[in-house]
Amino acid sequence: MWVLDPLRQIGPLQFAASMDTVEELMGPWSSHGGYQDGPQQTRFGSKGVTCYSYEGRLCAVVVDASRGPRVTLDRFELVGQTPSQVDAWLLQYCQSRGMELLLNQHCDPCTDALGLIVRGQRSHDIVLTRVVAVCEDWADRCGDTSEGWIPDSEWNYW
């Protein structure tokens, strides 16, 4: 079970950690790529985790709905759940704390205050939740598919 500490850490992965540290914690990666001057993507396929880094520092973590670790926020499980259940909980969570919850261009709920995007992902014949958590530097417009830092490779993943 991983715990999300918004804008700081998800599970054992601390935002701004070097990617060498991330590799030590996660083990060998299954694929790596990106653009020379932009965010780099590192997949830990066997763990169901994708990391995005910039200038060698961890900036975002994506947890797969089917293969990723269970992730909680305030003891509520975010990953691998029915989207409507997570959406309702997240709306109440944000409203009770005076935080804004928006829907992005793909209708994914997202909140800059938490640096969190909850996406839908096909898992066999159903759709389950997948989490994208970002560092503070990427939080502004984190869910914006055209102006945020999250690369297109994530927005094109269903």
pLDDT at 74: 97
Lowest mean pLDDT across 31-35, 49-53, 74-78, 136-140: 31-35
Residue-wise pLDDT for 27-47, tens only, equals 988 877 876 778 999 999 999
Q: Quickly state the pLDDT bin for 125 (edges 50, 70, 90).
A: very high
pLDDT at 4: 98
DSSP secondary structure letter of residue 82: -
pTM: 0.95
Sequence-separated contacts (24+) of 17-20 with Cβ below 8 Å? 17/57, 17/58, 18/56, 18/57, 18/58, 19/51, 19/53, 19/56, 19/57, 19/58
pLDDT at 1: 94
